[in-house]
Amino acid sequence: MPSTGRKNSLHITAGFVGRLLCVVTLASPMLAVTFTTIDFPGATSTQVYGINNAGLAVGVFVDTANVTHGFLLNNGSFTTIDYPGATLTVAAGINNDNQIVGQYNDSAGFGHGFLLEGGSFTSVDFPPYQTFPTAISDAGDIVGFCIGTRNDYHGCVSVNGTFHRLDVPGAVFTVGIGINFSQTKAVGGYGLANGSTRGFVFNNGHFTDVIVPGAQSTAAYGINDVNVVIGNFSLPGSPATHGFVLYAGTFHDADFPGAASTYPINLNNSSALVGWYIDKSGVQHGYKMSLH
């Protein structure tokens, strides 16, 4: 995603590394799947970030003028989402009541969150931070991340309309990324003083590290109500990023066929997964992966 002078989109999470839940074996091939490319018409790049149980999806596209817009995809039909007066809009998460959360930049380049409900926008802010919601539960609680004046990153959650920081103890930064629809578990990433970064699952007040065996880096992005976790990983000595699905205690490869890199971002309770991939020419495309 293009830079606007501030870190202002979900794209920053693509660099996270970490560990996932438990030590298991990476299995391939995985369950029977169908991959579908999702490209906003006329866009130079497309990324899909969220999907609900009805299959409605949200994400971002970049137009030919290099402007970033959000979108809603409903039964094959795209609707552009632009926060009024914003210079950049990202639609990041959608719940089963079709509430959409995301991020926008104001004219000064400062990042704010938003809630879109019934066609009306509400700004969502956690002062004094730049606020970046990434996912929303069916109860309307929000998870995301916040950036302070010293470029310090914190996980943040909004419960009943009130924001709280969600920081892993001892971490130098924490970023929230996903929450399941029943709001019982969240996932994200954090960094340590030695320069290493890890993923986490947050459940019942406790953080659990996430681990992919043999990987140089791992990121956990999404979790659903039946405890399927998705994310990506990289291998030592390789520039490629690979997708994974953790299902019934086993990791499965989830790479888009022929892609240079794959970034799964979110999934619903039927394990329909969305994200984006980079093709051999370096172009970003959204995609959907359906498990059978």
CATH of residue 78's domain is: 2.120.10.30
Task: Pick the range with the lowest mean pLDDT from 11-15, 49-53, 195-199.
Answer: 11-15
Higher pLDDT, 251 or 272: 272
Query: What is the pLDDT, as a whole number, of residue 207?
Result: 93
Task: Pick the range with the lowest mean pLDDT from 24-28, 122-126, 278-282.
Answer: 24-28
Quick check: is 203 in a domain? yes
Kindly report the pTM of this predicted structure.
Answer: 0.88
18 pLDDT more than 70: no
Quick check: is 35 in a domain? yes
pLDDT level of residue 202 (50, 70, 90 thresholds): very high
Query: What is the pLDDT, as a whole number, of residue 152?
Result: 94
pLDDT level of residue 31 (50, 70, 90 thresholds): low
Quick check: is 284 in a domain? yes
- Mean pLDDT along residues 42-67: 98
Q: Which of 187, 231, 237, 189 is nearest to 216 (CA)?
A: 237
Q: What are phi and psi of 13, to 5 degrees?
A: -70, -15
Query: What is the pLDDT, as a whole number, of residue 12?
Result: 31
**How many residues are present in the chain?**
292
Cβ atoms of 274 and 57 within 8 Å: the answer is: yes
CA dihedral sign, ordered 189, 91, 276, 140? positive
Query: What is the pLDDT, as a whole number, of residue 292?
Result: 67
Q: Is 171 helix (H, G, I), strand (E, B) or coil?
A: coil
29 pLDDT more than 80: no
Quick check: is 105 in a domain? yes
Please state, in angstroms and rounded to a whole number, the distance separating the CA atoms of residues 59 and 253. Answer: 23
Quick check: is 69 in a domain? yes
Higher pLDDT, 189 or 27: 189
Higher pLDDT, 79 or 175: 79
Summarize pLDDT for 121-154 with one digit per residue, the tens: 999 999 999 999 999 999 999 999 999 999 999 9
Output the six-digit token pair for 280: 């051999």
Range of the domain at 122: 10-291
Quick check: is 5 in a domain? no
- Mean pLDDT along residues 85-109: 97
Quick check: is 2 in a domain? no
CA dihedral sign, ordered 33, 11, 96, 74? negative
Output the six-digit token pair for 257: 């066929």
Mean pLDDT of the chain: 87
Quick check: is 118 in a domain? yes
The number of distinct structural domains making up the chain is 1
